[in-house]
């Protein structure tokens, strides 16, 4: 766990969902709180990544997006700028099906000699950048390229692992995907 911080990306505009995805309730509390509870025992510190104009009512540590406006890379790079010596376990707030079992597997599979440790996305057959451990070398590459986290991982030297709990990588970005996630949770296919 040495030097591993948790980062919950809450700063997206949620245009397709038509409401703030970090505030959605899948587990009896806002999604950002659920993710915080998952990450807290697994990392040294946990931070929420937010836009400057975004209001989250919390006493939890927040990192305000300060590095441009490049989607999720903005939050990741803002965290790296705040704590440049730390590796980050990054989670998007639109992962309603995630549980501790996936995060524990990711951490157990961590290869600090690589630029990142990532699950292969079962939906896109490429690295899942927003459920990844980014080492400082990978963060430096992302900063230099100023680009898409997924494209950065495709060029980087990474540890790519299969997730036997691949359903937990499901992203809910639209109201219909939210309903699909709620059905999966209610059908007891996943931890609630």
Q: What is the pLDDT along the chain (192 residues), one digit of tens a residue?
A: 358 999 999 866 665 666 778 888 999 999 999 999 999 999 999 999 987 776 666 788 889 887 667 678 889 999 999 999 999 999 999 999 999 999 999 999 999 999 999 999 777 789 999 999 999 999 999 988 777 899 999 999 999 999 888 889 888 888 888 898 889 888 865 544
* Count of C-beta atoms within a 10 Å radius of residue 91: 27
Beta partners for residue 7, in sequence order: 47, 90
SS3 22: helix
Domains and CATH numbers, the chain: 4-186 (3.90.550.10)
CA distance 93 to 101: 17
19 contacts: CB under 8 Å, gap ≥ 6: none
The model's pTM is: 0.89
CA 113 to chain centre: 21
Looking at the chain, which runs of residues are DSSP E strands?
4-9, 46-50, 62-64, 87-92, 116-120, 127-134, 158-161
Listed residue (102, 88, 96, 61) closest to 143, CA to CA: 88
């Amino acid at each position: 766990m040495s030097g591993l911080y948790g980062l919950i990306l809450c700063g997206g505009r949620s245009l397709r969902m038509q409401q703030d995805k970090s505030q959605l309730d899948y587990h009896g509390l806002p999604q950002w709180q659920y993710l915080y509870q998952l990450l807290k025992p697994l990392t040294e510190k946990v931070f929420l990544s937010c836009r400057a104009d975004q209001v989250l009512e919390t006493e939890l540590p927040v990192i305000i997006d300060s590095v441009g406006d490049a989607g999720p890379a903005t939050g990741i790079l803002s965290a790296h700028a705040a704590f440049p010596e730390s590796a980050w376990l990054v989670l998007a707030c639109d992962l309603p099906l995630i549980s501790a079992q996936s995060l524990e597997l990711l951490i157990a599979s961590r290869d600090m000699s690589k630029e990142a440790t990532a699950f292969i996305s079962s939906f896109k057959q490429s690295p899942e950048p927003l459920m990844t451990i980014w080492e400082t070398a990978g963060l430096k590459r992302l900063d230099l390229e100023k680009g898409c986290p997924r494209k950065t991982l495709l060029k980087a030297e990474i540890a790519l692992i299969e997730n036997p709990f691949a359903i937990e990588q499901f992203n809910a970005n639209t109201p219909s995907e939210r309903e699909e996630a709620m059905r999966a949770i209610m059908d007891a296919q996943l931890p609630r």
